[in-house]
Amino acid sequence: MNPLSRIFPKLRDRLAQLRREAPPVCLQVTNITRHTVLANCMEVADSGAKRNKGLLGRKCLYPGQGMWILPCEAVHTIGMQFSIDLVYLDRKNRIKKLRSAVPPWRMSACLTAHSVIELPSGTIRKTETSLGDKLEFSSSAPPDDSAGAPFSVVK
């Protein structure tokens, strides 16, 4: 038996509780310039661990899903299994750079960006998103597991 568990009987339970991942926050991302929705369940990667992991380990992104990485000015798709669209934003959520259908094993950067949105390949084309467009983020209810496209956080 670990001697610390005898000294601090509740410490182990508290550490286990802290290790549990909070449920993902879902945001809706709307292009207010074009009046289109880029994603209705956008995850936020705003901690070092979440930014490092990104989309690694996933098999795909379903339409309506995505990841907002902030702060971030460069991403890679090394080790990924699918192509993604990239939307680079400044601090005012204006689009600085777009990259469509970035395949696995590539790198992309925009040194003037503050954050990056990763979306399913084809989203930029379908929503007619362009440079200079303004995006808006709003809270969205997490998807119901019993309906709609699957959504899961891969650990």
What is the reported pTM? Answer: 0.78
Q: Is 125 inside a domain boundary? A: yes
d(CA 93, CA 129): 13
Q: Is 151 inside a domain boundary? A: no
- CATH number of the domain encompassing residue 55: 2.60.120.1140
DSSP-derived secondary structure letter, 105: S
Q: Is 152 inside a domain boundary? A: no
Per-residue pLDDT of the chain (155 residues; tens, 9 = 90+): 566 556 566 666 665 665 555 566 789 999 999 999 999 999 999 998 899 899 999 999 999 999 999 999 999 999 999 999 999 999 999 999 999 999 999 999 999 999 999 999 999 999 999 999 999 999 977 655 434 444 433 33
Burial 61-74 (b: 16+ CB within 10 A, else e): beebbbbbbeebbe
The pLDDT score that the predictor gives to residue 25 is 73
DSSP-derived secondary structure letter, 21: P
